[in-house]
């Protein structure tokens, strides 16, 4: 699809989301609400989010260790730059930016780094699935929302199991690629090298012996996300049951996964408004 068309569709999705979120808003009342926000709680929520990226950097260091030992600085800085990229670039292009930052700061190739980032995102959805399962025990999700949640859980766990079992398939596939006569063609040689490096990164979790620590870090990250959501929500004066903050976290996380304009504009706001005005 043409890049201009993709960008237009992303902006269109964001515009629709913003319209839904703000179509019935009294902007004077909104301004008064903003002035009454507890900034101490907001600062604490932001601090927890930043701290969660420290845990994320530690987790990534473990993931990439079978390939190369990477220090904390490039691990953490690439994560922060990636989030910055998602804030200013459409279609979550910050993930690619992060891979190139890693390649620039270490001897890893960008394709290998991107492979590890894909693993990270699968782990994130495994963590999100755990939150979903916990919330569903006390707050059954109905209609299409329930089907979406179940679909996310099934796909996340399937992807996680696949990457754990992918090592043998990778070895066979790489042998076939290396023996192929098509490698004499320059472009195909570059493509095969990209695939090899990507698969090296995407299968590091199988090579590490610290899967338990990786899953523990994933759990801690999602606990911190929950705490940040809780603090940011009560800072505005909104009170929910404990599971309500979980539903809000789930919905906004799924919403920002949708490719849209930079900074998750529209998608995040529409999801938050829908949950807070229709379910609670």
Average pLDDT over the chain, rounded to whole? 84
Nearest one of 83, 82, 108 to 96, comparing CA atoms: 82
In a domain, 82, yes or no: yes
Split at pLDDT 50, 70, 90, the class of 9 is confident
pLDDT in tens, 42-52: 999 999 999 99
Of 44-53, 82-91, 135-144, 215-224, the one with minimum mean pLDDT is 135-144
Supply the pTM of this predicted model: 0.87
Segment of 92-96, 130-134, 146-150, 179-183 carrying the highest mean pLDDT: 130-134
Q: What pLDDT, on a 0 to 100 scale, did the predictor assign at position 36?
A: 93
CA–CA separation, 231 and 242 (whole Å): 12
**Residue 236, SS3?**
coil
| Cα separations in angstroms, 222 against 81, 129, 206, 217 | 21, 10, 22, 9
Split at pLDDT 50, 70, 90, the class of 170 is low
In a domain, 1, yes or no: no
In a domain, 24, yes or no: no
Nearest one of 27, 250, 279, 275 to 133, comparing CA atoms: 250
SS (H, E, C) the chain: CCHHHHHHHHHHHHHHHHHHHHCCCCHHHHHHHHHCCCHHHHHHHHHHHHHHHHHHHHHHHHHHCCCCCCCHHHHHHHHHHHHHHHHHCCCCCHHHHHHHHHHHHCCCCHHHHHHHHHHHHHHHHHHHHHHHHHHHCCCCCCHHHHHHHHHHHHHHHHHHHHHHHHHHHHHHHHHHHHHCHHHHCHHHHHHHHHHHHHHHHHCHHHHCCCHHHHHHHHHHHHHHHHHHHHHHHHCCCCCCCHHHHHHHHHHHHHHHCCCCCHHHCCHHHHHHHHHHHHCC
Q: What pLDDT, on a 0 to 100 scale, did the predictor assign at position 257?
A: 83
pLDDT in tens, 237-268: 999 999 999 999 999 998 888 777 777 888 88
Split at pLDDT 50, 70, 90, the class of 274 is confident
> What domain range includes position 123?
38-264
Query: Residues with Cβ < 8 Å from 252, sequence gap 6 or more?
Result: 229, 268, 271, 272, 275
pLDDT above 60 for 78: yes
Nearest one of 99, 112, 104 to 68, comparing CA atoms: 112
Q: What pLDDT, on a 0 to 100 scale, did the predictor assign at position 206?
A: 78
In a domain, 86, yes or no: yes
pLDDT greater at residue 92 or residue 244: 244
pLDDT greater at residue 260 or residue 70: 70
In a domain, 273, yes or no: no
Q: Are 145 and 249 in contact (CB under 8 A)?
A: no
Rounded to 10°, the helix 211-234/242-256 angle is 110
What is the tally of structural domains in the chain? Answer: 1
């Amino acid at each position: 699809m043409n890049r201009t068309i993709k960008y237009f569709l992303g902006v269109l999705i964001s515009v629709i989301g913003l319209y839904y979120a703000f179509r019935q808003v009294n902007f004077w009342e909104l301004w008064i609400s903003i002035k009454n926000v507890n900034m101490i709680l907001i600062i604490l929520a932001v601090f927890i989010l930043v701290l969660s990226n420290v845990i994320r950097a530690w987790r990534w260091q473990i993931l990439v260790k079978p390939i190369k030992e990477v220090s904390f600085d490039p691990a953490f800085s690439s994560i922060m730059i990636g989030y910055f990229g998602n804030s200013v670039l459409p279609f979550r292009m910050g993930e690619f930016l992060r891979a190139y930052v890693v390649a620039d700061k270490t001897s890893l190739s960008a394709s290998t780094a991107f492979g590890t980032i894909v693993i990270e995102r699968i782990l994130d959805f495994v963590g999100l699935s755990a939150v979903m399962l916990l919330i569903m025990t006390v707050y059954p999700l109905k209609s299409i929302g329930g089907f979406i949640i179940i679909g996310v859980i099934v796909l996340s766990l399937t992807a996680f199991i696949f990457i754990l079992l992918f090592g043998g398939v990778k070895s066979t596939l790489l042998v076939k690629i290396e023996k192929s006569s098509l490698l004499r063609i320059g472009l195909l040689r570059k493509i095969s090298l990209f695939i090899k490096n990507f698969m090296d990164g995407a299968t590091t979790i199988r090579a590490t012996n610290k899967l338990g620590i990786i899953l523990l870090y994933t759990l801690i990250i999602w606990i911190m996300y929950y705490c940040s959501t809780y603090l940011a929500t009560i800072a505005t004066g909104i009170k929910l049951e404990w599971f309500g903050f979980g539903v809000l976290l789930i919905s906004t996380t799924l919403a920002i996964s949708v490719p849209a304009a930079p900074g998750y504009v529209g998608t995040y706001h529409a999801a938050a408004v829908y949950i807070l005005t229709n379910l609670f």
